[in-house]
């Protein structure tokens, strides 16, 4: 693989992974809003939030899944080591579609919330396999150009001006060509710890237990309903520089912070 082609393919991979992160964050926000409305026993509000979520799913997530099956899966499935993987990915797409249908048909807020939570769980696992198995497989294939496969596929690449995603000029849409010179992507999704639905008095202990379980270099994304500054101070006191915090979203309704364990110096 030539250097220029490798660079373009890696830029395309970074765009796909970035768009996956956008989809996951948007779905989490919709599901949180639906759970909140259902918990408040506000049927009118829950119905509106459910309808907004269904519209987003049909406008954003399902076209993304269709684009994957059109552009990526047929090529990946031709590789013997990926045939069974792609069959599993296609089965997950069918499960996602079925959950969208169930969500749309739900007449009670609690049933809609259950379908939405199940959908978010399936998608989280699905995106990890996309990022860590399918995309690297295509980037490393000497006879495949990921950038060419994704040429013009905005349902896979997202908006060029979206934070963390966009085609970066790899699909011919006129985006920033300079993005092709960026370093290779890290094809992983950090696990997310959403404490918004936990009782307030359990949040700190839950986060600290999850951080204690992280290996050196491991990370998670904390999702909180407010800026968790007291918790961050507690983390700093507990780990004494051994845990780095990176603010990913600073309100106004949701705060997301990436917490990563720093390797212990020899």
User: In 10 A of CB 83, how many CB atoms?
Assistant: 12
Query: With 90 as the cut, is the pLDDT of residue 190 above it?
Result: no
Residues 176, 55 share a domain: yes
Residue 186 maps to a domain: no
What was the pLDDT predicted at 150? 80
Q: Are residues 143 and 216 in the same domain?
A: no
Same domain for 170 and 239: no
CATH of the domain at 242: 3.30.110.40
- Domain hosting 127: range is 3-181
What CATH number is given to the structural domain containing 114?
A: 1.20.120
The pLDDT of residue 55: 92
pLDDT at 264 over 70: no
Residue 265 has pLDDT above 70, yes or no: no
- Do residue 215 and residue 126 come from a single domain? no
Stretch 92-108: mean pLDDT, rounded? 91
The 10 Å CB-count burial string (b at 16+, else e) for 102-140 is: bbbebeebeebbbbbebbbebbeebbbebbebbbbbbbe
Asked if residue 243 and residue 171 are part of one domain, the reply reads: no
User: Of 153, 181, 209, which marks where a domain is finished?
Assistant: 181
pLDDT band at 153 (very low <50, low <70, confident <90, very high): low
Last residue of a domain, one of 147, 181, 215: 181
Q: Are residues 79 and 207 in the same domain?
A: no
Q: How confident is the model at residue 156 (pLDDT cuts 50, 70, 90)?
A: low
Assigned domain for 167 exists: yes
End position of a domain, from candidates 146, 181, 216? 181
Could you give the strand order of the β-sheet that contains 192-194, starting from the edge strand earlier in sequence? 192-194, 219-224, 255-261, 243-250
Mean pLDDT of the chain: 80
Residue 140 inside a domain? The answer is yes
Give residue-wise pLDDT tens across range 205-253.
889 988 888 888 888 888 888 999 999 999 999 998 899 998 888 777 8
Are 19 and 149 found together in one domain?
A: yes
Tell whether 157 and 249 lie within a shared domain.
Answer: no
Q: Is residue 266 part of a domain?
A: no
| Residue 257: inside a domain | yes
Residue carrying the six token digits 């919330």: 113
Indicate whether 186 pLDDT > 70.
no
Q: What is the pLDDT of residues 83-92, one digit of tens each?
A: 999 999 999 9
Answer yes or no: do 156 and 210 share one domain.
Answer: no
Q: Are residues 37 and 161 in the same domain?
A: yes
How many structural domains is the chain composed of? 2
Q: Is residue 187 part of a domain?
A: no
**Is position 136 within any domain?**
yes
Contacts of 58 (CB under 8 A, 6+ apart): 100
Looking at 4-18, 133-147, 248-262, which range is the least confident one? 4-18
* Claim to verify: residue 16 and residue 122 sit in the same structural domain: yes
- For the segment 33-62, what is each residue's pLDDT rounded down to a tens digit? 999 988 887 788 889 999 999 999 998 899
Residue 59 belongs to a domain: yes
Same domain, yes or no: 122 and 160 = yes
């Amino acid at each position: 693989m030539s250097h220029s082609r490798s660079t373009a393919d890696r830029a395309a991979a970074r765009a796909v992974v970035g768009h996956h992160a956008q989809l996951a964050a948007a779905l989490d926000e919709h599901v949180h809003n639906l759970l909140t409305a259902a918990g408040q026993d506000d049927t009118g509000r829950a119905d509106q939030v459910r309808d907004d979520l269904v519209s987003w799913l049909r406008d954003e997530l399902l076209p993304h899944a269709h684009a994957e099956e059109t552009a990526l899966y047929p090529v990946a499935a031709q590789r013997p080591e990926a045939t069974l993987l792609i069959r599993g990915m296609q089965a997950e797409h069918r499960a996602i579609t079925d959950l969208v249908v169930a969500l749309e048909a739900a007449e009670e807020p609690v049933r809609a919330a259950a379908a939405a939570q199940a959908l978010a769980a399936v998608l989280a696992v699905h995106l990890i396999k996309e990022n860590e198995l399918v995309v690297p497989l295509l980037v490393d294939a000497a006879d495949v150009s990921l950038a060419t496969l994704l040429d013009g596929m905005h349902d896979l690449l997202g908006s060029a001006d979206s934070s963390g995603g966009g085609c970066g000029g790899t699909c011919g849409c006129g985006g920033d060509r300079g993005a092709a010179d960026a370093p290779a992507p890290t094809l992983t999704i950090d696990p997310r710890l959403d404490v918004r639905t936990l009782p307030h008095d359990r949040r700190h202990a839950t986060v600290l237990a999850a951080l204690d379980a992280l290996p050196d270099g491991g990370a998670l994304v904390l999702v909180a309903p407010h800026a968790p500054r007291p918790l961050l101070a507690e983390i700093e006191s507990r780990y004494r520089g051994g845990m780095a915090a990176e603010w990913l979203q600073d309100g106004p309704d949701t705060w997301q912070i990436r917490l990563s364990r720093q390797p212990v110096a020899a």
